């Protein structure tokens, strides 16, 4: 018989319990952290989704407005084209997606902003056609664009830009004199920067 007593070892289940408790605590802390992140991401997702929905609604409004504007333009083209049918057939005027295109040589002598007699005659028909189109829509506006070529002009009076602006202004004045409303028309000169 031995008087030697073995030291008592800790029971293995106590070690397991300490380890399990530690792991459980870590899992719970991780779960809480993930739950907090989930809520944060959820709020961020909702904000972004709301912003996307607003942008989509704005896009749909703009798309609808563009479609409506395109429809109006097509109607104006038909209406104005019908009013100016004989001038179009004679080749004096072209109805394009950009509007009414009148031959420059018909309207103005070279390097001049004075409208010719034949140009005044054509503008009489244009004013009538524009007036008819404007009566159906209170938002109807006309921009008269003046152009030149991109070659420097030999003139003490004008640069190409000034010439194009004065040509556009003179066409506006002529259309107003022939009955088109002055509050619905304006002039713009493009000079050599968008040459014809």
Bridge-based pairing of strands 93-96 and 99-102 is: antiparallel
How far is residue 165's CA from residue 146's CA, in Å, rounded to a whole number?
A: 6
Give pLDDT, residue 35: 72
- For the chain, what is the total number of helices (H) and then of strands (E)? 5, 4
Model confidence, pTM = 0.68
pLDDT score of 177 more than 60: yes
For 37-86, the pLDDT digits (tens) are 677 777 777 777 788 888 888 999 999 999 998 888 888 888 888 999 99
């Amino acid at each position: 018989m031995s008087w030697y007593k073995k030291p008592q070892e800790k029971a293995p289940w106590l070690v397991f319990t300490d380890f399990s408790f530690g792991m459980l605590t870590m899992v719970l802390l991780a779960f809480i952290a993930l739950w907090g992140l989930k809520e944060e991401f959820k709020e961020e997702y909702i904000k972004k989704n709301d912003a996307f929905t607003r942008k989509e609604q704005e896009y749909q409004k703009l798309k609808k407005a563009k479609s409506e504007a395109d429809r109006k333009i097509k109607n104006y083209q038909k209406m104005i084209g019908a009013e100016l049918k004989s001038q179009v057939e004679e080749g004096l005027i072209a109805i394009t997606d950009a509007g009414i295109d009148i031959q420059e040589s018909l309207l103005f002598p070279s390097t001049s902003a004075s409208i010719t007699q034949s140009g005044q005659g054509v503008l009489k028909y244009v004013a009538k056609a524009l007036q008819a189109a404007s009566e159906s829509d209170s938002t109807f506006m006309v921009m008269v664009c003046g152009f030149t070529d991109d070659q420097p002009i030999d003139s003490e009076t004008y640069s190409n830009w000034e010439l194009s602006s004065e040509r556009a202004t003179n066409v506006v004045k002529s259309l107003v004199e022939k009955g088109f409303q002055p509050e619905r028309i304006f002039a713009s000169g493009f000079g050599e920067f968008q040459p014809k």
